[in-house]
Structure 1
């Protein structure tokens, strides 16, 4: 029970941060970032939340039920836009992969360049 309270407290903290600071991120993402930082700095121990997290992950499909029901309810509209949606999803996934790959290549080149400069100094 303590683990669930801790997880919900971080979600609430995310909402509070979003409202107070007007951060342009979803509140649950802010809460997750705060929770990750708390785990990293030892403010929260994994043992405290592990059982609650395992329970939530085990029953994760229940959280997707509203999305599935909504898809079924709006299927007549979605059916008319299926090709557009599929094309958009495929194209956007490809663009994300391309940009990520190029960014990693750039980071890799810079990292290797810095290593070469460091070797020359020795």
Structure 2
């Protein structure tokens, strides 16, 4: 189990290092996760090593959100005078996300209908 956690930590550190050296606009853990995915595809035996540790982490995932929640509560005091801007940005980003999702789904539905030669809408 310790070796599996070490593998996960090495990939996270590799991701952080690559992002830092190349100045990529991607979070280091995301880059590390992509590297881990590539390694899992290249070396399927690695999955058996990492799987138990990953499942253990996933079973305690809610505990990993506690520091983020504390950070949000601590930072909430600094945004006390900006509630209108915060609420407006939340509303606008939500509407934009819904609109983009709808447009993507509409585009996918159109491609599906063109591919089959018929439109199945009711």
> Which TM-score tier does this pair reach, normalised by the shorter chain?
0.7 to 0.9
Map 1:10-89 onto structure 2 (within 5 A): 10-43=11-44, 45-89=46-90
Compute the TM-score of the two structures, normalised by the length of structure 2: 0.72
**Corresponding residue number in structure 2 for 1:104:** 105
Instruction: Note the aligned Cα RMSD (angstroms).
Output: 2.5
What CA distance in whole angstroms lies between the structure 1 residues aligned with 2:73 and 2:107? 43
**Corresponding residue number in structure 2 for 1:119:** none
Gaps of 5+ in 1: 117-122
* 1:64–1:106 CA distance, 2 compared to 1 (3 A): same
What CA distance in whole angstroms lies between the structure 1 residues aligned with 2:45 and 2:101? 32
SS at match of 1:25: coil
* 1:110–1:19 CA distance, 2 compared to 1 (3 A): same
**Corresponding residue number in structure 1 for 2:3:** 2
Q: Which moved more, 1:75-84 or 1:23-32?
A: 75-84
Q: Which moved more, 1:53-62 or 1:1-10?
A: 53-62
Gaps of 5+ in 2: 118-122
How far the C-alpha of 1:92 sits from its partner, in A, is: 0.6
Assess if the C-alpha contact under 8 Å between 1:18 and 1:25 holds in 2: yes
